[in-house]
Structure 1
Amino acid sequence: MKSGLLLMLLFVSTATMAKQLPSDAALERCLNNASATLAMNQCYVEATTFWDQQMNQHYNTLMKTLTGDAKNRLRIAQRAWLNYRDSWLEASRSQMATQGTLGSVTLSAQGLGLVRNQALMLQSLGKGSCANPDDC
């Protein structure tokens, strides 16, 4: 019984690792090699730059394929998301200021999470059949 449970846990963890995106693995390697908060923040800057490029690529692709009301609604939604992102990071920045040097790392991780998620959402929208952007 215990060996069966162990095998099942091993399978689940392997399946979970297989879903990891190459950019996520690169971030993990970078963070593992970072020895100071400045280096950790640089890891997040690089990852955020990658995901920002992905987000813009998916958005531009959608804007080329959509027409009329759908195109206008996407433009409005993306502008609203940009305002949300900026507002969230500003609110977080004021809270993280009290958390020492690791507060900046937390803020960098939050920024990455916001952009990564939006890029995946736009990718999902472009594919049209993904209920969960992680499935795309």
Structure 2
Amino acid sequence: MTEDVKRRTVLATGAAAAIVAPVAACGGTKSSGSASSSTESASGVKTAGTGGVLGRTSDIPVGGGTIFKDRKVVVTQPKEGDFKAFSAICTHLGCTVNNIANGTIDCPCHGSKFHIADGSVAHGPAKTPLPEESIKVEKNSIRLT
């Protein structure tokens, strides 16, 4: 291999790594650990495939919500007894949301925030709302339908 070919190989490899690293970093998730946020079902209810139980209604605080990371779903309770569900995937660049506080569902990657009542954008850079997910509340359980 000539010096010129080695140099081009090193440059091409370095350029590819520079492109891949920031994109990969966006897809990560964090767990906030703060008392004001909800990140996973507190009851430890096992989830199933589509149509399976996500959790209990008692897992969803009024004025807040719970992120079911394994199902990529957020369930909120904006008002007592009013349950909503949205995708947990941020519409900006596909990161998983990681926090619910002060009436918003928050993305850790670029700071987008979505209203818990309807998934609409409260703060960008996201421009589109979180897609709604279909749930059914039966007695004290919440099912993804």
TM-score (ref. length: structure 1) = 0.29
More helix by share: 1
Compare relative contact order (CA 8 Å, sep 6+) and give the higher one, 1 or 2: 1
Bigger radius of gyration, 1 or 2?
Answer: 2
More strand by share: 2
TM-score (ref. length: structure 2) = 0.28
